[in-house]
């Protein structure tokens, strides 16, 4: 499965399609994966502008007692965000999930996504995220409570199972479909695998064959060609891209174009990369305020510059500056000095 040449599985005109989840239509079948600490509102807005058909919020705790924190208030701030707004909720108590779903809708959510895919220890130690896959009766109670609590579509994100000996994604998917879940995203790794090794797509294919829900394939999709291969291998309705979008948000445009035409589009120009970065910085400063915005921007700048010429000394400088103005000047200076042809590569 992994060794087939690209030419056998090229993108074509039928691989990029509009998506329908409940009453909502999406322009394409390429989604941004929700990632805690990454997919804040500025990054979602950027990815959607650069081609992502849909994007959910960062994971929000189902414990509404914690919703007064600055972090959660920001995650519930959807001003200026494209519709439909998708809010992802994580937790292990059915009643709390139901209340969080209702409160999310009151805050503007038009689709509620339930997280059963996060492998983070601090989430799994509370029997949330992918830890829930161990307890199928609890999964049923959580999903039933969520679906019954709101009038908007409820979707689900899972992994292939708890560990390589316990891959139960097909059973979970069938249960979810019976309960009324309206779309499913499957990361092709178990909880135990975290992000190690290669994603396995045969489980995703088995899920796609077992249910009539739209299924998004997730895991290791880092190029237009890989997206086309994964769609062919799995039969999924769409692909979900996570880590590959960090520092390369234009990957969505490249994937969408390739799935439509079977041809690769040109990489963004030097000026476009610079402008994308500067616009992203300005949005971060506006969203978080200058002090926090500068701190959040550091990791994004590090991702943008990974593998680029002269990036190491630039990163050493960027982590020391404390003002938005100094950060922007450094970015502009880097692009003014960097070789054009290398930056655009």
Asked if 104 and 89 count as a contact pair (C-beta separation under 8 A), the reply is yes
Nearest CA among 146, 103, 109 for reference residue 34:
109
- CB atoms under 10 Å from CB of 151, counted, come to 7
193 an active-site residue?
A: no
Sign of torsion over alpha carbons 92, 93, 99, 101: positive
Give the whole-angstrom CA distance, residue 313 versus residue 46: 27
Asked if 109 and 58 count as a contact pair (C-beta separation under 8 A), the reply is no
- The gap from C-alpha 12 to its chain's centroid, in whole angstroms, comes to 24
Q: Which helix (H) or strand (E) holds 159?
A: strand 154-161
Give the whole-angstrom CA distance, residue 255 versus residue 257: 5
Structure tokens at 70: 């600055």
Structure tokens at 156: 């689900």
Strand-pairing partners, residue 116, are 158
> Looking at 118, 124, 193, 208, which residue is catalytic?
118
Alpha helices in the chain (DSSP H): 41-49, 70-75, 94-106, 121-124, 136-149, 169-179, 202-210, 224-234, 251-261, 270-288, 290-305, 311-318, 324-337, 340-343
Q: Residue 273 to residues 9, 44, 295, 308: CA-CA distances in angstroms? A: 30, 17, 21, 12
Residues labelled as active-site residues: 118
């Amino acid at each position: 499965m992994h060794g087939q040449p690209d030419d056998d599985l090229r993108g074509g005109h039928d691989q990029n399609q509009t998506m329908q989840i409940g009453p909502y239509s999406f322009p394409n079948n390429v989604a941004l994966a929700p990632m805690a600490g990454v997919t804040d509102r500025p990054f979602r807005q950027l990815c959607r502008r650069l081609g992502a058909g849909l994007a959910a919020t960062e994971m929000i705790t189902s414990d509404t007692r914690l919703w007064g924190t600055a972090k959660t208030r920001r995650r519930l701030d959807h001003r200026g965000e494209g519709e439909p707004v998708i809010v992802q909720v994580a937790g292990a108590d059915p009643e709390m999930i139901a209340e969080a779903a209702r409160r999310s809708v009151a805050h503007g959510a038009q689709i509620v996504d339930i997280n059963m895919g996060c492998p983070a220890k601090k989430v799994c130690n509370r029997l949330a995220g992918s830890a829930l896959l161990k307890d199928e009766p609890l999964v049923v109670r959580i999903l039933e409570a969520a679906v019954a609590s709101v009038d908007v579509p409820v979707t689900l994100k899972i992994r292939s199972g708890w560990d390589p000996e316990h891959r139960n994604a097909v059973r979970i998917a069938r249960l979810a479909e019976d309960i009324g879940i309206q779309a499913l995203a499957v990361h092709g790794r178990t909880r135990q695998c975290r992000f190690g090794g290669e994603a396995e797509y045969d489980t995703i294919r088995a899920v796609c064959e077992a249910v009539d829900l739209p299924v998004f394939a997730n895991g290791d999709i880092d190029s237009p060609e890989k997206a086309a291969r994964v769609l062919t291998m799995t039969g999924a309705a769409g692909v979900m891209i996570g880590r590959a979008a960090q520092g390369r948000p234009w990957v969505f445009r490249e994937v969408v174009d390739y799935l439509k035409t079977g041809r690769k589009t040109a990489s963004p120009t030097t000026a476009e990369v610079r402008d994308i970065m500067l616009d992203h910085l300005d949005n971060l400063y506006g969203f978080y305020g200058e002090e926090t915005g500068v701190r959040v921007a550091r990791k994004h700048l590090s991702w943008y510059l990974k593998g680029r010429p002269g990036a190491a000394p630039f990163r050493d400088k960027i982590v020391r500056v404390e003002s938005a103005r100094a950060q922007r000047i450094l970015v502009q200076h880097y692009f003014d000095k960097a070789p054009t042809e290398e930056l655009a590569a």
